[in-house]
Every structure is written in structure tokens, then in C-alpha cells.
A and B are shown apart, each in its own frame.
Chain A
Amino acid sequence: MSRPSWVAPVGFALAIAGTAVATYLTIAHFTSPTVLACASTGVVNCERVTTSAQSKVFGIPVAVLGLAWFVAMSGLCSPWAWRAHASWIRTARLVSAGTAMAFVLWLVYAELFVIHAICLWCTVIHVLAFGLFVIVVLYGTEPAD
């Protein structure tokens, strides 16, 4: 069964958009969380989330991990990669998307039940990651035509 023609451009666009937002969050992490265009009162509070204990995993900022993942996915979901016949690319894409989705679920759990605040920019990242996950699990394992 052939892969729909929209998969490659949409997948690549999601990865590039995720890279842009993750770059923004990484800059905010290393400068000041107050640069984030996001409310800092009530439940929606980017600053509380990005400065929480959960904003780092093994000492690595989650924003940096997100940026690294989206950069990698930009490569794995590039038009070249979608056309490639190497099976390792399909495997890497699927494993990477699945791992990231599990990580996103943990982050959502941390926001809702540990930090008790929602970061809008993080949510944008989560939605983009979910979009990539959907595309990859549905179409990313099919060999190139």
C-alpha cells in the first residue's frame, strides 16, 4: 500500500515547527523563563513549569532534550529520509516517536499532578510530538515507494 503524498511534507513540517518551539524554550531556560510569552498566574504558568524540579532529567534540561529530539526527527522525517529505503531509518523513526510519546505522557502527568501548572509552550511541543507520533506509527514503517 503506498504512503499518502501528504505524509512526508506534513511530518517534516511538524518536526521543523517542533524544533523552532523547542529552541524558544531552550533559550528561555538558559536566559530567563520570564521571556516566555505565557501567563504566570493561575493554572497556566509556563515559568512555574520551566523552573520546576521536573524541568530537568538527570541534570539535563527537558527543553534541551526536546530540542535534540526534534532536530533528530527533522532528519528522520526529512523528504530524503521518507524516500530512503534503509530499514534502520524506519526503525529509528518508530522507536524515537514511541519513546518520545512515553516521555510526553510523563511530562503531562508531572504538569497536572506534581507541578500543578500547565505550560502552554510545552503543550504546543506535546501536540507536535503527538502529531509526529501519529504519522510515524501509521505510515512511518512502510517502505518507500
Chain B
Amino acid sequence: MTNRTAQRKRAATANAKAGNGRRRSNVRGRRPATSRYRTGAVAAIGAVLAIVVAMVAFSAVNDDGSPATPGTGRGGKVVAAVTSVPASALDAVGGGQGIAPPVAIAAGAPPLTAGGKPQILYVGAEYCPFCASERWPLVIALSRFGTFSGLGLTTSSASDVYPSTPTLTFHGSTYTSDVISFTAVETNTNQLVGQGYEPLETPTAEQQRLLQTFDAPPYTSQAGVIPFTLIGNRFVITGSSYPPDVLQGKTWGQIASALSDPSSPIAKQVLAAANMLTAAFCELTSGQPSNVCTAPGVTSAAASLPSA
């Protein structure tokens, strides 16, 4: 009896200990898990906030308004702005005033194509100030039909008229589009070497033939003018569509920002020229893409296009 009682007591004590132990274990297991989860949740929220703050701060530090330089993130910001000008700004400017329309090529010239698509050929040079001004609307117009990659920033020659005009360069860039093909030749850099500028790219024999044919009277007042923009053998533009002086004294960033504001003098010139180019490209693509070719700014500019 004594032994049994003692055994029961020991068993009860053991059970109680075990029970207490389990309860303690449960409490310890639940509370820390909840606490750990809550800590993790707060950490996750803090991490999200920290990432956002870091991104905003990094973006702000890299947007100090300093002039753009090729190959930097700020250059990417300029290119992004130029290749995605709001349609509303382009429509607000429309055909503009004082924009030189392209010259129509007489009917009968074989269409200029590449890869089964109408081709646009540009020949210019990085030192050339009129090329500098013409590239802005050309990039804007082409970006409505396709996508550029590798566009860089440069300036025209510091020792020519309209010195150091900020611009983009096609050298090293590629362009893809479902409806048109674009080929650019930048013949020289803006660096003087002896009596001329450093050579950069050389036109092919076929491009030379096109230059001799269309970069000459009656399409231009004198032969060999750059920039030369041949639009599918339907239109040709020699020189700049607008005077480069509107870009003088501006940085790439200021020009890029102004393009979103249709009331700015820069937008009035550059976007009107871009609409004119777009209207000419739409002649080659049979009005495709329709949302581009039927945009009010483009149809307005198309009224000024010459007929062959």
C-alpha cells in the first residue's frame, strides 16, 4: 500500500512535471514563433520602405541638372525622353510653322527597301550642326514606328556655326521596326584631325550611288549636303528642317524636357519637324501604324507634304 501510494505519487508528480513541461514547451514554442513572425513582418515592411527610399534618393542624386554625358545614366534619361515624347505634345504642335517640307522625288524611282520594308537612309556627321538639329525630330519620328537601342549623346563641332549643339548620335545604335527600316551613316566624329574631322563610318557603294543621285540638284541646291535623309525614294530632305539656333545654349536635358511642353520654342520646332517626318514615313507604310498616322499632329503636317 505504502509502495503503491508512493508509486502513484511519483507517477502523479512525473505526469505533472511532464504536463507542465509540455505546457511550458507549448507556450515557449508559440510565443517565440508569433514574435518571430511579427519581427519578420516588420522587417519586410521596413525593407520595402528602405528599397523605395534608396531608389528615390539614388535617382535624385543622379538628376542634379548637370549636362548629360554620353554613356551615363543621365544620357539614358535624355534618350528615354526623346524616344517617348507624349502623343499629346506632338498633336498640340501639329505641323507648326516654318518647317521645311521634304522634297518629293519624281514618280518612277524604284522604292528604296530593306528586308521587305520601306527604307529610310540618313547620312550625316557628328560635327555637323544641321545634322545635330535634324537628329532630334528624326529620332522622335522613328520612335513612333519602332525602337532604338544604343543611341548616344554628342555635340556638333565646337568650331563650326551653331557650335556644340547638343544632339544624339546614330553611331553604334540599332533600330528595329515592323513597318520600316532605318539605316544611318555618321561619316565623321566631331573631333578635328588636321584639316578635317576624324572619319567614323563609310557609306556603302549603294549608299554612295543614292547620295550621287538624290543629294544633288534638282533635289538640293548643291551636291553633297548633309544631313541627307532619303525617305524610301519618295522624299528627300537635305539640311535641317528647322534652324538649329533654337537649341543654342541648351543642355541635352533642357531640350529633352522642353519636348514635353508644346508651348516651348524647342517643342514648336522639333515636334513640328517630327510630325512632318512622321507624315512622310506614313506615306511609305500605307498609313501603318494607324494610331500614329491618323494622329491629329501627323494629319496636320501631312497637308504640307509635296506630291510627286
B residues in contact with A52, CB < 8 Å? 84
Q: Is the CB of B55 within 8 A of A42?
A: no
A45 cross-chain contacts in B, Cβ below 8 A: 86, 260
User: B89 contacts A115, CB within 8 Å?
Assistant: no
**A47→B51 contact, CB < 8 A:** no
Contact status of A113 and B73, CB under 8 A, knowing A41-B261, A52-B84? yes
Within 8 A of B (CB), among A13-35: 33-34
Asked if A51 meets B84 with Cβ closer than 8 Å, knowing A42-B260, A137-B41, the reply is yes
User: B56 contacts A112, CB within 8 Å?
Assistant: yes
- Indicate whether A56 reaches chain B with its CB closer than 8 angstroms: no
Question: Which of B41, B73, B80, B147 is A138 in contact with, Cβ under 8 Å?
Answer: B41
Is A90 engaged at the interface, CB distance under 8 Å to the other chain?
no
Q: Give chain B interface residues in 253-280, CB to chain A under 8 Å.
A: 257, 260-261
* Residue from the set B45, B76, B261 with the largest chain A CB neighbour count within 10 Å: B45
Chain B nearest CB: distance from A122 CB in Å?
Answer: 13
The answer to whether the Cβ of A48 comes within 8 Å of any Cβ in the partner chain is yes
- Cα A134 to Cα B45 in complex, Å, equals 6
Residue of chain A at shortest CB distance from B258: A41
Task: Write out the residue numbers on chain B whose beta carbons fall within 8 Å of the beta carbon of A53.
Answer: 147
Chain A residues, Cβ within 8 Å of B58:
112
How long is the Cα–Cα vector from A51 to B38 in the complex, in angstroms?
40
A40 CB-CB contact with B under 8 Å: yes
Decide yes or no whether A96 CB sits under 8 A from chain B. no
Interface of B, helix, strand, loop or mixed by DSSP: helix
For B294, the chain A residues whose CB sits under 8 A away are: none
From known contacts A47-B86, A47-B88, infer whether A115 and B48 are also in contact, taking CB-CB under 8 Å: no
Verify A137–B45 contact, CB threshold 8 A: yes
The answer to whether B55 touches A109 (Cβ under 8 A) is yes
For the complex formed, measure the closest distance between the CB of B274 and the CB atoms of chain A, giving whole angstroms.
16
Of residues 91 through 110 on chain A, the ones whose CB sits less than 8 Å from some CB of chain B are: 98, 101, 105, 108-109
Is B16 an interface residue, CB under 8 A from the partner? no
Compute how far the CA of A19 lies from the CA of B86 in the bound complex, rounded to whole angstroms. 26
| Chain B contacts for A51, CB-based, 8 A | 84, 86-87
Judge whether A40 and B88 touch: CB under 8 Å. Answer: yes
Q: Are B55 and A116 in contact (CB under 8 A)?
A: no
The residues of A that contact B55 with a CB separation of less than 8 Å are 108-109, 112-113
Specify which chain A residues have a CB less than 8 angstroms from the CB of B87 in the assembled complex: 33-34, 47, 51
Q: A116-B77, A116-B80 are in contact. Are A105 and B48 (CB under 8 A)?
A: yes
Q: Flag if A114 contacts B80 (CB, 8 Å).
A: yes
- The yes or no answer to B192 lying at the interface (CB within 8 A) is no
B66 interface hit (Cβ, 8 Å)? no
In the complex, what's the smallest C-beta–C-beta distance from B44 to chain A, in angstroms? 6
Q: Tell yes or no: B3 within 8 A of A by CB.
A: no
CB distance from B176 to the nearest CB of A (A): 12
Interface residues of A in 101-145 (CB under 8 A from B): 101, 105, 108-109, 112-116, 130, 133-134, 137-138, 141
30 inter-chain pairs at a CB distance below 8 angstroms, sorted by A residue, are A33-B87, A40-B260, A42-B257, A45-B260, A47-B87, A48-B84, A48-B86, A52-B84, A53-B147, A98-B44, A101-B48, A105-B48, A105-B51, A108-B52, A112-B58, A112-B59, A113-B55, A113-B59, A114-B80, A115-B80, A116-B77, A116-B80, A116-B81, A133-B45, A134-B45, A137-B41, A137-B44, A138-B38, A138-B45, A141-B37
Where the two chains meet, the residues of A that have a C-beta atom closer than 8 Å to any C-beta of B are 1, 33-34, 40-42, 45, 47-48, 51-53, 98, 101, 105, 108-109, 112-116, 130, 133-134, 137-138, 141
Using A51-B87, A101-B48, A105-B51 as known contacts, list a sample of 15 further A-B pairs with CB atoms less than 8 Å apart, ordered by residue number in A. Answer: A33-B86, A41-B261, A42-B257, A47-B87, A47-B88, A48-B81, A51-B86, A52-B84, A112-B55, A112-B58, A112-B59, A113-B55, A114-B80, A137-B45, A138-B38
9 A-B pairs with the lowest CB-CB distances in the bound complex, closest first: A112-B59, A137-B41, A116-B77, A41-B260, A47-B86, A41-B261, A34-B88, A116-B80, A40-B86
